[in-house]
Structure 1
């Protein structure tokens, strides 16, 4: 995948400030991110001239301006998961003691757009923006189930099948059959197909104009004996939080 370096640098800069949470001078930014001073100066100058960076006090370093917050707020209003999803993930993480996440399709993968991690030291760990394969995970197959069947088959025949673990499904027919089986039972499961020792339980959430998958994931040794309990918790939480019943989805 080709990368536009300047765009990547802007994102790296935002991640830098998210970590340090204070103004920083050109020299610190250049050294920490291993950027040439000249290109660092040019990027900072451009962002300052556009109003996205400012100096909270003279010669005290630069920091992202409130313009970013206004921009992201506008984006959230336009096309993001319903605000109720935050409470839903928080509830499920607490009720199950495992990691709860919301996934959406992104360029042939499932991208996490909401995450609440388990408090256990050993847990499924991810963050917003991370992606997993559609065909090799419970969340991914829950998203695929919301596509028309012909479209889904076409995707599966194009997909790259990597042997992530000994349990990874390796053919389009195997994956399609697993999706059909999951649609019939109304929920999706992936047991150590993508990551050894981890499993996930997912529900398809086809909200108006959106495709989402709700996931609870954790170590197989903890979650394996609680599948039906967790499915019931997820269904009830979706009903109470979003006001919708999770039913089998037919493409």
Structure 2
């Protein structure tokens, strides 16, 4: 098989540690399990060398071996590292200010989320001052199939990628509204993809309504969700849709913050060359 030269260039480094990190970067971009032989064909590295590198990553908890003993997937330590980066990035303050302004505008609790495996991870949250509210702190997790943001993340995926993710999960029913039938869930996800926003209508917690959008990313899929949450006694679907323009404006502002941060990183990297 012909060696993928672009992958080989990513594995170049002056030290074994740099080459190990380059391999980890390639693995982090995968959306499915992989084998030693598959990585040999993809990178062109000698099989003994690659086997030793994968063993090092597995021993450190960055990778884990699947039940068949042949396939690898991302390990718990690598997922924790990714989540820590999301929770503690340098643009947190700017995005938090946008979130607080949104809460002031709509009068309900709002949060910023990201996709982490089969779950939606709460990166940040600002609570409403209203006396009745649901407390979900940063670091909280919600299964992707019963989250408004989660449906949007799923809608971005290719159908095969989405099926793989959902097939690995237990579509647990949390309330009488939770979508656990695969066909019903797929129909909901297709509708979400068309309309650009999603609801969680008491699908995770009884009495909680949520509407969400994604911060747009012109370069590809977005991993930043923005949502409004409210008790159903204060919020209906129609009222949530009245809040949609404010939610979309805030999502655009967060997208601009993300782009600026990435531009700063690119400029810094260029200056180091």
TM superposition score category, shorter chain reference: 0.5 to 0.7
Q: Distance in 1 between matches of 2:166 and 2:190?
A: 13
- Give the structure-1-normalised TM-score: 0.61
Q: Distance in 1 between matches of 2:90 and 2:223?
A: 11
Secondary structure at the counterpart of residue 155 of structure 1: helix
Q: Paired residue for 2:193, among 167, 172, 183?
A: 183
Query: CA contact under 8 A between 1:199 and 1:217: conserved in structure 2?
Result: yes
Report the CA distance shift for 1:157/1:93 in structure 2 as closer, same or farther (over 3 A): same
Q: Paired residue for 1:200, among 210, 219, 228?
A: 210
Aligned to 1:149: 159
| CA deviation string 1:33-57 (max 9, x = no partner) | xxxxxxxxxxxxxxxxxxxxxxxxx
Aligned to 2:241: 228
- Give the number of aligned pairs: 171
Q: Distance in 2 between matches of 1:233 and 1:181?
A: 21
Secondary structure at the counterpart of residue 146 of structure 2: coil
Q: 1:229, CA displacement in angstroms?
A: 1.3
Report the CA distance shift for 1:206/1:159 in structure 2 as closer, same or farther (over 3 A): farther
Q: 1:21-40, aligned counterparts within 5 Å?
A: none
| CA deviation string 1:180-225 (max 9, x = no partner) | 1011111001101110000100102254575111111011121214
Query: CA contact under 8 A between 1:118 and 1:124: conserved in structure 2?
Result: no
Q: 1:148, CA displacement in angstroms?
A: 2.3
Secondary structure at the counterpart of residue 215 of structure 1: strand
Report the CA distance shift for 1:103/1:81 in structure 2 as closer, same or farther (over 3 A): farther
Aligned to 2:180: 170
Q: Distance in 2 between matches of 1:81 and 1:219?
A: 30
